[in-house]
Amino acid sequence: MTPTALGRRRFLGAVGLLLVLLSGGVLAGCGQGKAVEPPRTPVKTSAGSEETLERTEEASQKREEQSEIARDRELLAGIEAKKREEGAEANAKKFEKSAEAKAKKREQEVRKLEQETKAKAKAQEEAIRKQAKKQEEELARALAKKKPPPKKQTPAHTKTSSGSGSGTPSGPVTTVVR
């Protein structure tokens, strides 16, 4: 609250209290009729009401201050909680980003290993094929060296016992494997 607003409140409170006290005094005086009372001195009454007024003003001011302090504490607690929450969210985002980066890096490493494994498998398969081909060639060479020289074939125009003269050989036929 601003000082001017606080001053207005005090003034209005004082005026209200003064009205209450004065109206109470008037009502008390009307109800007694003609009884004789000792006259009150106006100086004592006004001094007592001023003290009471000051005390009530001070009490209301303290209550207002306490309520403002409580509101300020609540507001501060809310701000601090919001800051903590924002900090926690920021930390969670950082953690999530780093986890994603690590996951991507692992995936790349896995892909790289898979490619290397496939390349090694292809190279190994190619080496096996070359070795098999080489062995086949060596085997064919070895068979060609071990093969006996071809035998002379008998003439194909010999007559068979049936006398048909078809010209087919009647003896064993040898085939050459190369």
> What is the domain partition of the chain in residue ranges?
11-18+42-145
**17-26, 38-47, 108-117, range with the lowest pLDDT:** 38-47
Q: What is the pTM of this model?
A: 0.36
Q: How far apart are CA 74 and CA 72, in angstroms?
A: 5
pLDDT in tens, 26-59: 555 555 554 445 555 444 456 678 888 899 999 9
Tell me the pLDDT band of 22, cut-offs 50, 70 and 90: low
Q: What is the pLDDT of residue 11?
A: 75
Tell me the pLDDT band of 10, cut-offs 50, 70 and 90: confident
Contact 60, 13 (CB under 8 A): yes
Nearest to 94 by CA among 105, 102, 106, 104: 102
Q: Which residue has the higher pLDDT, 9 or 41?
A: 9
pLDDT in tens, 124-169: 999 999 999 999 999 888 888 876 656 666 655 555 555 555 555 5
Q: How far apart are CA 52 and CA 44, in angstroms?
A: 12
Is the pLDDT at 72 greater than 80, yes or no?
A: yes
The arithmetic mean of pLDDT across residues 94-115, rounded, is 96
Measured torsion, CA atoms of residues 50, 55, 56, 57, in degrees rounded to the nearest 10: 80
Q: Which two tokens stand for residue 9?
A: 């409140």
